[in-house]
Chain A
């Protein structure tokens, strides 16, 4: 136990994040098929570290390297830790899925396995890294790494559809990065307050700086939209329903389960929420969040029920679910006193959605690989995550939604309460469509 304690306190966080990068450098074209284990091994150190950290009772865990980049400051964040755990677990499971595929040679016809594995590891590195990065520069670095490397996952099959999806993805991603970078620089300029230091400000200093700025609303809007591209915000979501059906199944699972949450994490870290929103300075952006969230939640369901592929339905479902999260975020932004409680609800909802959506994506692959009774059994099993997402009684979905509903029951939100509850209808419609398409297959 003392050894474990020692390790936990002396392994710098960057090593855990860089580990997949090192593995990526070891992938070679001729042996790539036998390197499936790398995808499982890559997230494991981080998984162990997070579990140990939980076991130790969440001590303060910070790594600072002042001479690296613009001053590295990485930490385990107490609020975001559940999302980190979900992300790492999902990547591990998806890694097992790919490993299985490679071992069964079912991927034999696919060329570019080496490139796929490399892009996978790079994306993984960015995704888990941004959850522990505490300074703006390295956070943005890892966010960009994830964004650009995921392009290789989206277009992996190289079909015309995949290439088109890749184009839309990269276009929206570049626009998103642009919005994001301008927002981050603008915010950082206020956070640094003209001080001449070679180190970039910590990301935790952004909300206060934005709240204090005269142009805070614009900075917040830039960041909201910039991260919104990743989070599938209505209007910026176009890449999701295109990319998910064409990407390989495990890649869709991590795209929808884990990577989409990176946008949410960006919001939670940078936007002036809670106390910083007191006084209603950000009411306009917050209302925009609620409106776009509602449009996403119901509009995506409307479009999703006409989708032709099960994975496209799931993609629309992700947009819809993220819409609900956006509604929660916007509500919490409007009513700053309730933010703490709503934040807890958002994190629970994000973790719940990540797991269940991941399983539903895997299900598409499982069902198509099985036949006869086994396929039927699998369909029955898939009812569990589906019902979870809908939020039937005694499910994780009900728990997550109730957390939020309890909070807004006491707030003067008018019609929002029944509308939010009606979100379950949208999810039900999408899930019904999902099962219909799976069975037809």
Chain B
């Protein structure tokens, strides 16, 4: 049973995907029930595994494909963080997408690929070695493309092409990296297993240069999805996708998969201590810092809501890579916990952007004047998400910054604080004007295109409540950070296991 649980978790979304593809378009209710049942079931399974991991139970599924190349699905503390995040957000995004796409064509195709995308994310979370990771990483690219181009307009098809160019290119580079790893370093297949404290430190020193080169090849492959500058070009373009897709792309699926991969490579392949000795962490930290600042600067220039949020993602996701480069448990906690914190905050912000667009037809920031009175709950959610991104306590973003800052000092990289603070200020620079427009500016003329009239609630319930729920999560993650069941405590557990063998 313990061996099959990871497979079951993966199967919940995979089977759902297949069933939805088979199901004709008109079976609306059945499809909705299927989707929701699968999402809830998966949360339950993940919860069971989380409880098991906390009690040191091993969940591992292994299948030998070729001699030396196994398909491994394993649940460890880190994978549960990512799996927990994506299973919870999947439920909310599904609910949101049902409301968002009400009456739209091709919903069967959409939800099919949506489930497939989540299945790939789960696979990435549970992958137990580099090879398995690579398979699901590529599967993710293929399953998200139909979502990006879902609307089928000229613009979205163009965005889809850009997206494919970048991600397939990145996938190819990653493939080269993995092949080099298997060919040059690890013919037996034991060293590319993800293991706490890493596996490569035992290698002789003449191989260290090769290892450093492979490290950067891997990072270049993963960095496309993680939107590291200069590989971030696809992300702002891909925001033409429907709001729930953008939310999923930015919060858990694609961008996070890249960041998660970077964390895996540093912690579970190389081992953070060994990577530190190799000297590969400092260049990556510098690159991540450049990305953080560059993304924020570009976000300042955007006039479109979703574009600004997209560049904000470029900036915020690199916090994770930056945290992974800080040698020391506290920096590790900061990076890992931001994986989750950024997810819930960014999903909130994209839900809000979707609500504004769907309800009032607002896409441009300048049209947001006085929306706070018309859509108070959405605007409160947006305000919470925005302040969280800036790093104002007691929201989740503050906890990340606090740990990243202290971790940077412990690692002897005090300059990181400057990056964090500058980024906070730039975040304030591009989020506070929006908050100001929402609450303090009077309404200017009629709304651009009001689809949903204000009735009992400000918008459709399925658009509103997932937004409120994720906003509450972003508040709770910060407010109860020191609680034993908080994301922070889980991240601390991961860091403990990484540093204390």
Residues of A that sit less than 8 Å from B by CB: 29, 66-71, 115, 137-138, 140-141, 144, 148, 152, 155, 158, 170, 174-175, 177-179, 181-182, 185-186, 188-190, 192, 194, 196, 198-200, 215
- Whether the pair B484, A67 counts as a contact (CB closer than 8 A) is yes
Enumerate chain A residues within 8 angstroms of B495, measured Cβ to Cβ: 196
- Whether the pair A181, B391 counts as a contact (CB closer than 8 A) is yes
Enumerate chain B residues within 8 angstroms of A70, measured Cβ to Cβ: 399, 402, 481-482
In the bound complex, what is the Cα–Cα distance between A198 and B483 (angstroms)?
9
Which one of B166-174, B180-188, B240-248, B420-428 contacts A? B420-428
- Whether the pair A194, B410 counts as a contact (CB closer than 8 A) is yes
- Whether the pair A196, B402 counts as a contact (CB closer than 8 A) is no
- Whether the pair A178, B393 counts as a contact (CB closer than 8 A) is no
Q: Does B464 contact A (CB under 8 A)?
A: no
- Whether the pair B392, A144 counts as a contact (CB closer than 8 A) is yes
Of all chain B residues, the one with the shortest Cβ separation from A174 is B428
In the bound complex, what is the Cα–Cα distance between A175 and B399 (angstroms)?
20
In the bound complex, what is the Cα–Cα distance between A306 and B10 (angstroms)?
74
Residue from B392, B417, B482, B484 whose CB has the most chain A CB atoms within 10 Å: B482
In the bound complex, what is the Cα–Cα distance between A206 and B424 (angstroms)?
23
In the complex, 18 of the A-B residue pairs with CB atoms within 8 angstroms, ordered by the A residue number, are A68-B483, A70-B399, A138-B393, A138-B394, A144-B392, A152-B440, A179-B421, A181-B401, A181-B405, A182-B405, A182-B418, A185-B401, A186-B405, A194-B410, A196-B329, A198-B482, A198-B488, A215-B414
- Whether the pair A178, B479 counts as a contact (CB closer than 8 A) is no
- Whether the pair A181, B424 counts as a contact (CB closer than 8 A) is yes
Q: Does B409 contact A (CB under 8 A)?
A: yes
Partner of A68 from the list B399, B482, B488 (CB cut-off 8 Å) is: B482
In the bound complex, what is the Cα–Cα distance between A65 and B207 (angstroms)?
51
- Whether the pair A186, B409 counts as a contact (CB closer than 8 A) is yes
- Whether the pair B417, A141 counts as a contact (CB closer than 8 A) is no
- Whether the pair B489, A198 counts as a contact (CB closer than 8 A) is yes
- Whether the pair A192, B329 counts as a contact (CB closer than 8 A) is no
Partner of A185 from the list B402, B422, B440 (CB cut-off 8 Å) is: B402
- Whether the pair A69, B440 counts as a contact (CB closer than 8 A) is no
A141-B398, A188-B402, A215-B414 known; 20 new pairs, CB 8 Å cut-off, are A67-B482, A69-B480, A69-B481, A70-B399, A70-B481, A138-B394, A174-B425, A174-B428, A177-B392, A178-B421, A182-B420, A185-B402, A186-B405, A186-B409, A186-B414, A189-B409, A189-B410, A194-B328, A196-B330, A199-B482
Encode contact with A along B295-310: 1 for CB under 8 Å, 0 otherwise.
0000000000000000
- Whether the pair A185, B481 counts as a contact (CB closer than 8 A) is no
Contacts A69-B394, A181-B424, A186-B417 given; does A194 touch B482 at CB 8 Å: no
- Whether the pair B428, A137 counts as a contact (CB closer than 8 A) is no
Of all chain B residues, the one with the shortest Cβ separation from A65 is B482
In the bound complex, what is the Cα–Cα distance between A185 and B408 (angstroms)?
10
**Distance in Å from the Cβ of B397 to the closest Cβ of chain A?**
12
In the bound complex, what is the Cα–Cα distance between A158 and B489 (angstroms)?
45
Partner of B425 from the list A66, A155, A175 (CB cut-off 8 Å) is: A175
In the bound complex, what is the Cα–Cα distance between A194 and B410 (angstroms)?
6
- Whether the pair A141, B394 counts as a contact (CB closer than 8 A) is yes
- Whether the pair B330, A194 counts as a contact (CB closer than 8 A) is yes
Contacts A155-B440, A182-B421 given; does A69 touch B409 at CB 8 Å: no
- Whether the pair A200, B428 counts as a contact (CB closer than 8 A) is no
Partner of A182 from the list B330, B417, B481 (CB cut-off 8 Å) is: B417
Enumerate chain B residues within 8 angstroms of A67, measured Cβ to Cβ: 480, 482-484
Of all chain B residues, the one with the shortest Cβ separation from A141 is B393
**Distance in Å from the Cβ of A81 to the closest Cβ of chain B?**
25
**Distance in Å from the Cβ of B497 to the closest Cβ of chain A?**
12
Interface size class of B (residues with CB under 8 A): 35 or more
**Distance in Å from the Cβ of A159 to the closest Cβ of chain B?**
13
In the bound complex, what is the Cα–Cα distance between A124 and B154 (angstroms)?
53
Enumerate chain B residues within 8 angstroms of A144, measured Cβ to Cβ: 392-393
- Whether the pair A68, B479 counts as a contact (CB closer than 8 A) is yes
Enumerate chain B residues within 8 angstroms of A215, measured Cβ to Cβ: 414
Of all chain B residues, the one with the shortest Cβ separation from A114 is B373
Partner of B481 from the list A115, A140, A148, A198 (CB cut-off 8 Å) is: A198
Enumerate chain A residues within 8 angstroms of B329, measured Cβ to Cβ: 196
In the bound complex, what is the Cα–Cα distance between A197 and B432 (angstroms)?
32
The A interface is mostly helix, strand or loop, or mixed, namely helix
In the bound complex, what is the Cα–Cα distance between A69 and B394 (angstroms)?
7
Q: Does B478 contact A (CB under 8 A)?
A: yes
Enumerate chain B residues within 8 angstroms of A178, measured Cβ to Cβ: 421-422, 424-425
**Distance in Å from the Cβ of B141 to the closest Cβ of chain A?**
37
Enumerate chain A residues within 8 angstroms of B394, measured Cβ to Cβ: 69, 137-138, 141
Q: Does B143 contact A (CB under 8 A)?
A: no
Q: Does B457 contact A (CB under 8 A)?
A: no
Enumerate chain B residues within 8 angstroms of A140, measured Cβ to Cβ: 393
Of all chain B residues, the one with the shortest Cβ separation from A181 is B421
Enumerate chain B residues within 8 angstroms of A137, measured Cβ to Cβ: 393-394, 398, 402
Enumerate chain A residues within 8 angstroms of B373, measured Cβ to Cβ: 29
In the bound complex, what is the Cα–Cα distance between A140 and B428 (angstroms)?
17
**Distance in Å from the Cβ of A350 to the closest Cβ of chain B?**
26
Q: Does B439 contact A (CB under 8 A)?
A: yes
In the bound complex, what is the Cα–Cα distance between A69 and B440 (angstroms)?
29
Of all chain B residues, the one with the shortest Cβ separation from A190 is B409
In the bound complex, what is the Cα–Cα distance between A178 and B432 (angstroms)?
15
**Distance in Å from the Cβ of A138 to the closest Cβ of chain B?**
8
- Whether the pair B479, A69 counts as a contact (CB closer than 8 A) is yes
- Whether the pair B392, A148 counts as a contact (CB closer than 8 A) is yes
Of all chain A residues, the one with the shortest Cβ separation from B492 is A198
Those 4 A-B pairs whose CB atoms lie nearest each other, nearest first:
A185-B405, A141-B393, A189-B409, A67-B483
Of all chain A residues, the one with the shortest Cβ separation from B479 is A69
Q: Does B40 contact A (CB under 8 A)?
A: no
Enumerate chain A residues within 8 angstroms of B393, measured Cβ to Cβ: 69, 137-138, 140-141, 144
Contacts A70-B482, A185-B409, A194-B410 given; does A170 touch B421 at CB 8 Å: no
Q: Does B406 contact A (CB under 8 A)?
A: yes
Query: 8 Å CB contacts to A: which residues of B78-131?
Result: none
In the bound complex, what is the Cα–Cα distance between A69 and B480 (angstroms)?
5
Of all chain A residues, the one with the shortest Cβ separation from B330 is A196
**Distance in Å from the Cβ of B90 to the closest Cβ of chain A?**
28
**Distance in Å from the Cβ of A131 to the closest Cβ of chain B?**
17
**Distance in Å from the Cβ of A172 to the closest Cβ of chain B?**
12
Of all chain B residues, the one with the shortest Cβ separation from A173 is B428
**Distance in Å from the Cβ of B490 to the closest Cβ of chain A?**
11
**Distance in Å from the Cβ of B457 to the closest Cβ of chain A?**
16
- Whether the pair B482, A69 counts as a contact (CB closer than 8 A) is yes
In the bound complex, what is the Cα–Cα distance between A152 and B435 (angstroms)?
12
In the bound complex, what is the Cα–Cα distance between A137 and B484 (angstroms)?
18
In the bound complex, what is the Cα–Cα distance between A66 and B484 (angstroms)?
10
Enumerate chain A residues within 8 angstroms of B402, measured Cβ to Cβ: 70, 137, 185, 188, 200
**Distance in Å from the Cβ of B496 to the closest Cβ of chain A?**
7
**Distance in Å from the Cβ of B396 to the closest Cβ of chain A?**
11
In the bound complex, what is the Cα–Cα distance between A174 and B392 (angstroms)?
11
Enumerate chain A residues within 8 angstroms of B399, measured Cβ to Cβ: 70
In the bound complex, what is the Cα–Cα distance between A170 and B401 (angstroms)?
21
In the bound complex, what is the Cα–Cα distance between A69 and B476 (angstroms)?
9
**Distance in Å from the Cβ of A127 to the closest Cβ of chain B?**
16
**Distance in Å from the Cβ of B381 to the closest Cβ of chain A?**
15
Enumerate chain B residues within 8 angstroms of A198, measured Cβ to Cβ: 481-482, 488-489, 492
- Whether the pair B432, A71 counts as a contact (CB closer than 8 A) is no
In the bound complex, what is the Cα–Cα distance between A72 and B22 (angstroms)?
54
- Whether the pair A189, B405 counts as a contact (CB closer than 8 A) is yes
**Distance in Å from the Cβ of A323 to the closest Cβ of chain B?**
27
Enumerate chain A residues within 8 angstroms of B440, measured Cβ to Cβ: 115, 152, 155, 158
Enumerate chain B residues within 8 angstroms of A155, measured Cβ to Cβ: 440
- Whether the pair B405, A66 counts as a contact (CB closer than 8 A) is no
Of all chain B residues, the one with the shortest Cβ separation from A175 is B425
- Whether the pair A188, B481 counts as a contact (CB closer than 8 A) is no
Partner of B417 from the list A68, A175, A185 (CB cut-off 8 Å) is: A185
